[in-house]
Each structure stands twice: as C-alpha cells, then as structure tokens.
Amino acid sequence: MKHIRGGVTAPSGFTASGIHCGVRRNKEKKDLALIVSELPCAAAACFTTNKVKGQPVVVSAAHLANGVAQAIICNSGNANTCTGEAGIAVAQRMAELVAERLPVKAEDVVVASTGVIGQLLDVTIIERGMDALVEGLSPTGSIAAREAIMTTDTIKKEVAVSLELADGTVVTMGAIAKGSGMIHPNMATMLAFITTDCAIAAPMLQAALSESTRRTFNRISVDGDTSTNDMVVALANGKAGNAPIVAEGPDSRAFQEALDEICVELARLIARDGEGATKLMECIVSGAVSEDEAVLLAKAVISSSLVKTALFGSDANWGRVLCALGYSPATVDPGKIALAFESGRGYLEVCKDGAPIAFSEEKAKRVLSDTEVTILVDLGLGKAQATAWGCDLSYEYVRINGDYRT
C-alpha cells in the first residue's frame, strides 16, 4: 500500500466538481460539490445516531438501502435539518437535479448537507448552479469538491492510497472529508466520502466500513456534540477489474487495511482541525481489560474540557486525566495507573502506580507546547488497548460558535 494524490478522483472511473452557487454569502467560498462514478457502485454508509436527523440523512439512508449508488451531491452553508417534509422534498429534489443532467437514477444519488440547522434550504439556488457543477466534473475535481463541503474547516482533508491484491491487480481508494465543530460522533464524522475502483460486494463493503468507522471516526471528539447530519459513504465501482471480493480472505484483509489507513488519516485531520484548536491530542490507553473499555477510557480523556484546556495552556495537570479515567464507566484501579506525555519535543513520565513522579515543569511545558501531543495511559489491568483523538479547547472556539449564524 502506498499513499498517492487525487482524493476521491484517484480511483478509476470517478469525477468530481465543486462550485459556488450561492448557498453561502461569501462568493469566494465554494458551497456545492458533486462526485460521480461512470458505473453504478456497490455502496455502504454509516449515519448519525442523533435522534434529530438531517433531512438529507433520511433521504440518503433510503437511497442506500439496496446497497447501490452512483453519485453524491453535497452543499455547505445550510444543513437542511429540522425542516420537516419541505426539507425532505428539497433533499429529494437535489437527487433529481443530478439525474436530470447525468445518466444516473435519482434513487442512486446520495444527498448530504452541512451548515446552519433549522433553516429551509432554497433548492432553486442549487438548481441554478447545477449546469456549472456538472460541466465542471473532472478527473482532477477532488480539490474543488473538498473545498465545497467545508464550513469552518481550515485545512484540507483528503487522502488516497493504492494497494495490490493477491492476483496482482492494483486497486485505488480515495477520500475527502469535512469536520471541525459539532464533532463527537458515534458512527462517522461530519461528512466523509470514500471512493474505490475495487470490485467488492456491497455487504462486504458495509462490513469493512462499519469496522473502520468503529476504529476511527467513533474515536474522535472536538466538543462533545454529535451532529445531526453525520455520514460516511463509500462507493466501489469495480473498474480495477479484480475478482470481486465476496468473502473473507487475503483480499478482504488488504482492503480493510487500506480503508483503515484512509479513515485514521481523516479522523486525525478532523480532530487536528477542531474549531479554534491549536493542538492535536492523541490518547493511547493500554493495559485495559477489553478493547471496548479501553475505548471508553480514551474517549473520556480526549472529551474532557479540563484536559483540553490544560493542553491549550501546555499545563501538565495530569490529575485531570486521572479524573476523566475515574468517571468513565470502564474498569479502573487508581493504584495501578501509569501516565506519561509524549510529543516531538520529548517524553515525560508524570505518574506511576497512581502516584506522582517528580518532573521538570520546564520540560513539561516544552513537551506539551508541540502541535501534536500524545497522552499515554497504562492501566495495568489487562492486554487490551485503544486510541482516541481530540484537540485542545481555546478561546477561539467560543468566538467561532458565538457568531456562527452571522
């Protein structure tokens, strides 16, 4: 497996486009994206577990029920959520607009929206931009598409890899994502779109995506809020020409490894780009009695507002980490916990057997001042471990969300 360029258009048979159509007021910001496959695809998705679901989520879940899709249309600037039956009609109309201009069935179009909640999306704005959107479809269109799905994002979230299957066939996988705030998923992230030219049965693709989601997107948090519009969608068009993956074996394992690589990279980018964030926080919990409990503990640490603010201040206030571990529902023996901080600027042990270790505050400040910091927790109870990703909490987060609608 190797990393390549190209995002969602790296795999054979995919084109993409992104334009400004007017959903967002700033004309310099793209706000409408389209991803299209030459052929109908095996499709899989994971959606938000929030009981309040965006109207595009409802429509897309119905369209993907048969495991087939061929295109994804996504707008930013308006989430089309809490908009009732009128919002459902808007999401359905967005799919129809694609079908009217391309040889794609409306029911094979995934619809996604992100932005302000509680405002009906004016679909005529989308309609006016459709001709330009379709005309812009290109094998190099991933950059424009990834820009069009961004809201408060500040960095690109794009990745692609190629891998060789057992028969020598090289297949490619690419992805784009958006996510910066309202990130505490239990399924996916804000939005992530994954494409591949690998031939794989829809049930196998769904199983692989669900597993990758469990290991990656379900282990990030920026602010503890689970979005109403979260979705991660994977499309596989089979253009690589490999023998279809229909059962467990070397090819399914290679595919899973590549998908995991894609999703880990996207999850880290989303956590790193948390609204107002200055640092990526990684928490690795080892020595747990089970992986599920390790996940609960790691997420408790990266979700703690007090841990996040200590990280922002480069303060080695490790008692806050133990506090977060202690209120998690997972098994913890305080007298066995070991804790250390690590970054590109050094490694620092601060706690062993639940008791403090003398350390240099100057070195602690240096280690924690890096842009990526890892919190290493050893529970001393078992052999299971898990990793979760988050970010610090800064003054800028409040400013961004205090005037989000304006």
Task: State pLDDT tens for residues 26-51.
Answer: 999 999 999 999 999 999 999 998 99
Domain that holds residue 303: 280-402
User: Would the pLDDT of 297 be above 70?
Assistant: yes
Q: Are residues 266 and 285 in the same domain?
A: no
Active site members: 189
Q: What is the pLDDT of residue 223?
A: 79
> Which among 272, 297, 315 is the end of a domain?
272
> Alpha-carbon distance 170 to 158, whole Å?
20
> Alpha-carbon distance 216 to 268, whole Å?
9
- Around Cβ 363, how many Cβ atoms within 10 Å? 15
Q: Are residues 379 and 231 in the same domain?
A: no
Q: Rounded to the nearest 5 degrees, what angle is found at the Cα of 89, between the Cα atoms of 235 and 192?
A: 30
Task: State pLDDT tens for residues 149-176.
Answer: 998 898 999 999 999 999 999 999 999 9
User: Would the pLDDT of 183 be above 80?
Assistant: no
Q: What is the pLDDT of residue 221?
A: 87
Domain at 262, CATH number: 3.60.70.12
- Around Cβ 253, how many Cβ atoms within 10 Å? 13
User: Would the pLDDT of 362 be above 90?
Assistant: yes
- Around Cβ 167, how many Cβ atoms within 10 Å? 10
> Alpha-carbon distance 187 to 219, whole Å?
9
Q: Are residues 251 and 328 in the same domain?
A: no
User: Would the pLDDT of 309 be above 70?
Assistant: yes
Q: What is the pLDDT of residue 401?
A: 81
Domain at 292, CATH number: 3.10.20.340
How many independent structural domains does the chain possess?
A: 2
- How far from each other are the two terminal CA atoms of the chain, in whole angstroms? 44
Q: Are residues 66 and 107 in the same domain?
A: yes
Mean pLDDT value across residues 74-102: 97
DSSP string computed for 42-96: EEEEEE---SS--HHHHHHHHHTTTSEEEEEEEEEEE---S-HHHHHHHHHHHHH
pLDDT grade for 201, boundaries at 50, 70 and 90 = very high
> Which among 272, 291, 320 is the end of a domain?
272
Answer positive or negative: Cα dihedral of 300, 306, 308, 311. Answer: negative
Q: Are residues 259 and 300 in the same domain?
A: no
Q: Are residues 252 and 316 in the same domain?
A: no
Which pTM was predicted?
Answer: 0.92
User: Would the pLDDT of 312 be above 90?
Assistant: yes
Q: Are residues 144 and 200 in the same domain?
A: yes
Q: What is the pLDDT of residue 31?
A: 98
> Which among 272, 303, 325 is the end of a domain?
272
Q: Are residues 236 and 320 in the same domain?
A: no
Q: Are residues 200 and 302 in the same domain?
A: no
Q: What is the pLDDT of residue 84?
A: 97
Q: Are residues 247 and 376 in the same domain?
A: no
Q: Are residues 252 and 296 in the same domain?
A: no
Q: Are residues 257 and 298 in the same domain?
A: no
Among 33-42, 54-63, 198-207, 214-223, the least confident range: 214-223
Q: What is the pLDDT of residue 181?
A: 76
Residues with Cβ within 8 Å of residue 245, at least 6 apart in sequence: 198, 199, 200, 201, 204, 251, 252, 255
* Mean pLDDT across the chain: 95
